[in-house]
């Protein structure tokens, strides 16, 4: 009787055919188990793999479809390798692609051999900190612009200085000609060049 016929009888409820089917595939299973045990995958022994092989046989019989055109031994090998993979603690392709399988704790050390070197969580950029840094840089830039302007205005004659301060700081009416002379002086390349470097 073929493996496929025995599997069909078992599926029909004849559980007495399990051992005859096992006897037919046992050498195939033990040969594969020997290969896996010889590779010493995580210290799993041949006896353990033999038990996994019998469990894989039961799973293969339960899912085998004789109408699909596959041989039972081929179907059994798929289940057998899957069982050995799990038994040996090897990760399947699906496990490797699972993002949580490779997740690390943010409390883990950032440098493997240096527990005092900070955690992985410390290496994640903080958007709030970046905004605060940008604000400090902007404040510094404005302070430098104000310093250049204050220096340039301080070099103007007294009337022009008063016109600029009155118009732009105090908002009071000033003499237009005096203000125009002051602005012309401030547009001079010696002043405007220093301001352009800061903008």
Q: Report in angstroms the alpha-carbon separations of 152 from 34, 71, 140, 162, 171.
A: 89, 93, 18, 13, 20
| Residue 110: strand, helix, or coil | strand
pLDDT at residue 188, as a whole number = 82
Q: Are the CB atoms for 54 and 82 separated by under 8 Å? A: no
Which three-class secondary structure state does DSSP give residue 14? coil
**Are the C-beta atoms of 45 and 34 separated by less than 8 Å?**
no
pLDDT score, position 40: 65
Residue ranges of E strands in 42-151: 109-111, 114-119
pLDDT of residue 56: 92
Distance (Å, whole) CA 32 – CA 133: 62
Q: What is the pLDDT of residues 156-175, one digit of tens each?
A: 899 988 998 899 888 899 99
| Tokens coding 65 | 């479809």
**Helix, strand or coil, per DSSP, at residue 111:** strand
Q: C-alpha angle 32/43/31, rounded to 5°?
A: 10
115 three-class SS: strand
> What is residue 53's predicted lDDT score, i.e. its pLDDT?
92
Beta bridge partners of 119: 109
Residues of the chain with pLDDT under 50: none
Name the pTM for this structure.
0.46
- pLDDT tens for each residue of 96-113: 666 765 567 777 777 777
| pLDDT value of position 177 | 92
């Amino acid at each position: 009787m073929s493996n496929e016929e025995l599997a069909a009888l078992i599926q029909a409820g004849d559980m007495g055919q399990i051992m005859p089917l096992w006897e037919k595939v046992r050498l195939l299973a033990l040969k594969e188990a020997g290969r896996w045990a010889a590779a010493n995958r995580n210290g799993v022994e041949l006896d353990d793999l033999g038990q996994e092989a019998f469990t894989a046989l039961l799973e293969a019989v339960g899912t085998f479809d004789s109408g699909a055109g596959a041989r039972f031994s081929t179907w059994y090998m798929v289940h057998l390798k899957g069982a050995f993979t799990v038994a040996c603690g090897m990760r399947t392709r699906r496990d490797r692609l699972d993002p949580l399988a490779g997740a690390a704790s943010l409390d883990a050390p950032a440098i493997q051999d240096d527990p005092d070197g900070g955690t992985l969580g410390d290496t994640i950029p903080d958007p709030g900190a970046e905004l605060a840094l940008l604000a400090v840089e902007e404040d510094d830039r404005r302070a430098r612009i104000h310093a250049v302007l204050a220096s340039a205005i301080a070099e103007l004659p007294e009337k022009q200085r008063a016109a600029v301060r009155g118009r732009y700081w105090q908002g009071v009416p000033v003499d237009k000609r005096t203000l125009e002379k002051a602005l012309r002086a401030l547009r001079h390349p010696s002043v405007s060049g220093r301001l352009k470097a800061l903008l």
